């Protein structure tokens, strides 16, 4: 029996070990890690799968990112399941449950880099070419709209959330678009 629960601080070592196993120890050289280094994962969406005897066999995390000229979004990943537990629906459960939570928290746009054949089942589609993640293969960049979100119509680049914070100071943590709208009614978008 495997249960899904929120990630705790004590899980960190097991998660790192699982990610090294799934993606290799050089995983941090991947483009997507540029969006993660020095930035905290979205705490409420970080979940793990754990066996009845306490073995951590799955992890999913999301990072806040910025879409130029558009606003905040999420970057899903990494997602990893221990090889001994593949094909039991754990990945599916982690993705579906956290996407539902992301939507409930007001997030409206999720990107990821991965295999479209896997992520199609969760409603992801390959991003149109006018949405760019620099140095990443465009056919692996995928998106999913949540709630009333939408993709930018104009050319846009995925940026580290930190870019906005670096420019605007520590209080400008990116909010989900719906929260920004609620808190800034009447403000013109840039
Ligand atoms: C991809 C991964 C997360 C799937 O986890 P899982 O718990 O085995 O997945 P589920 O049991 O929910 O789903 C299994 C289904 O996904 C399919 N699947 C798994 N990896 C796939 C891939 N890369 N491409 C297409 N389909 C894939 C399986 O064939 C199976 O299909 P079926 O339902 O038709 O039998 C897991 O294999 C893993 O950790 N892989 C290594 C890390 C990785 O690639 N992470 C994803 C980032 S792109």
Per-residue pLDDT of the chain (190 residues; tens, 9 = 90+): 999 999 999 999 999 999 999 999 999 999 999 999 999 999 999 999 999 999 999 999 999 999 999 999 999 999 999 999 999 999 999 999 999 999 999 999 999 999 999 999 999 999 999 999 999 999 999 999 999 999 999 999 999 996 555 554 443 444 454 444 444 433 333 2
- Closest ligand 1 atom to 87 CA: 11
- Closest ligand 1 atom to 117 CA: 25
Residues lining ligand 1, Cβ inside 6 A? 22, 79-81, 86-92, 114-115, 117-118
Which residue has a Cα nearest atom 24 of ligand 1? 118
Question: Which pLDDT does position 172 carry in this prediction?
Answer: 40
Question: Which pLDDT does position 173 carry in this prediction?
Answer: 42
Domains of the chain: 2-183 (3.40.630.30)
Per-position DSSP letters for 111-125, written without gaps between them: EEES-HHHHGGGT-E
Question: Which pLDDT does position 120 carry in this prediction?
Answer: 98
Which residue has a Cα nearest atom 28 of ligand 1? 87
d(CA 102, CA 23): 25
Question: Which pLDDT does position 163 carry in this prediction?
Answer: 54
Which residue has a Cα nearest atom 48 of ligand 1? 114
Question: Which pLDDT does position 156 carry in this prediction?
Answer: 98
What value, to the nearest 5°, has the Cα angle with vertex 152 and ends 184 and 80? 100
CA-based max dimension of the chain: 53
Strands 71-81 and 109-113: parallel
Reported pTM: 0.88
78 upstream amide cis, omega within 30 of 0: yes
């Amino acid at each position: 029996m495997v249960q899904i629960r929120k990630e705790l601080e004590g899980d960190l070592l097991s998660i790192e070990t699982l990610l090294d196993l799934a993606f290799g120890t050089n995983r941090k050289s991947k483009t997507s890690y540029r969006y993660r280094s020095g930035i905290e994962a979205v705490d409420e969406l970080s979940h793990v799968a754990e066996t009845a005897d306490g073995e951590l066999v799955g992890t999913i995390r999301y990072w806040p990112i910025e879409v130029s000229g558009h606003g905040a979004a999420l970057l899903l990943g990494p997602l990893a399941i221990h090889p001994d537990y593949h094909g039991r629906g754990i990945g599916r459960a982690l993705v579906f449950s956290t996407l539902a939570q992301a939507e409930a928290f007001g997030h409206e746009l999720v990107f990821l880099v991965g295999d479209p054949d896997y992520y199609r089942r969760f409603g992801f589609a390959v991003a149109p070419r006018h949405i760019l993640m620099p140095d990443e293969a465009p056919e692996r960049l995928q998106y999913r709209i949540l709630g009333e979100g939408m993709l930018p119509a104009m050319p846009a680049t995925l940026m580290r959330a930190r870019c906005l914070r670096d420019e605007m100071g520590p209080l400008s943590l990116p909010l989900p678009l719906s929260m920004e709208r609620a808190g800034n009614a009447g403000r013109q978008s840039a």
